Amino acid sequence: MINLTRRHFAGGLAAGSAIVASPAFAQAPTKVTLGYTAVADFTSAFVAQEEGYFRKRGLDVGFQLIALNSNIPAAMQADSVQIGGPTASVMLQANDGGLDLVAIAGASVTARDVANYGFVERTGAGITDAKSAEGKRIGVPGLGAFLHVLFRKWMAEKGADWKKVTFVETPFPQMPDILRGGSVDGLITGSPIMERIVQGNIGRVVSYFHTELPAGLPAVIYSTTRAWATKNPALLKAFREGVAEGVAFVNDKANDSRVRAIIGKYIPLPPAVIATAIITRQKADITVEEINYWITIMKEQDMLRGQPVAANVVLP
């Protein structure tokens, strides 16, 4: 018969506690899938995963590349991805069509000193300004998505008629080949795909049109369904905090080489393209005022049937 003294018993409890607390027995992080497109707007999430900001909060984020931004809401609704990065206009249109998506964190915003989006013409297409885009076929990375809507806003402010343009959905990864093939006269695109087009002498930038519009407009917004957000408050908090830490890392110029290496992992492009890519301005929060601005633009373009309330879209 084994005689357990109080000392032996206490020692056994301490040893047991050490086993439970050891990393080998720690609870595995919860897996969540994020839907993204091949642009640098998602850099804060890329960094948060690669630098361990999500994992240390019990979250393991997998990334699903989606060809068109306008397909992201359907992927969230089907739960093939739990979090997505639709643009503000895509999310608002999805809700207008009956979905119930909420904005949970900011990703990227426009800045007049960051030329990361551009209107690119195919070499020899003869496009020199907004007016000369009339009558042309222009590829966009999703009808009704951020760049499409913002480009139409720019054309209108330049006195051109965007209704005279034929817009064609064109996935980011295929943009260089589609432009080279001549099925479109120009593209509305972003970094780093834009740099690949220019460096390959496939086209030239006509305008960094967003720099002529108000700065600070949210482009990609991390979103989810209201049902998922309600069911998973701890995961939501972990994601938001991880993104915020990722934003701080990206915005620190001392981390530039590391940030570019991470982008290259998620957007497979030649090193020379990644080295010259313009990294989108990152911002972790999203405000009601920012969503209201998009609602105003979309109403101007007759894109909404209902009357969305921005305060219902932005999750506190």
Is residue 274 classed exposed, middle or buried when 0-12, 13-18 and 19+ CB atoms within 10 A define those classes? buried
CB count within 10 Å of CB 93 equals: 23
Cis peptide preceding 23, ω within 30 of 0: no
- Among 229, 186, 243, smallest CA distance to 315 is for 229
pLDDT at 243: 98
| Structural contact between residues 61 and 45, judged by C-beta atoms closer than 8 angstroms | yes
Q: Could you give the angle at the alpha carbon of 57 between the alpha carbons of 51 and 62, nearest 5°?
A: 60
Q: Model-level pTM?
A: 0.83
pLDDT at 289: 95
24: DSSP letter: G
pLDDT at 268: 87
Q: Parallel, antiparallel, or unpaired: how do β-strands 203-207 and 83-84 relate?
A: unpaired
CB count within 10 Å of CB 300 equals: 12
- Among 162, 137, 129, 97, smallest CA distance to 300 is for 162
pLDDT at 139: 98
Distances (CA, A) of 189 to 140, 146, 228: 7, 11, 31
pLDDT at 27: 78
pLDDT at 223: 98
CB count within 10 Å of CB 25 equals: 9
Ordered by where they begin, the domains of the chain are 30-111+217-313 (3.40.190.10), 117-212 (3.40.190.10)
Rounded mean pLDDT for each run of 10 residues along the chain, 316 residues in total: 41 41 62 96 97 97 95 97 96 97 96 94 96 98 93 97 97 95 97 94 97 93 98 98 98 96 94 91 95 95 95 96
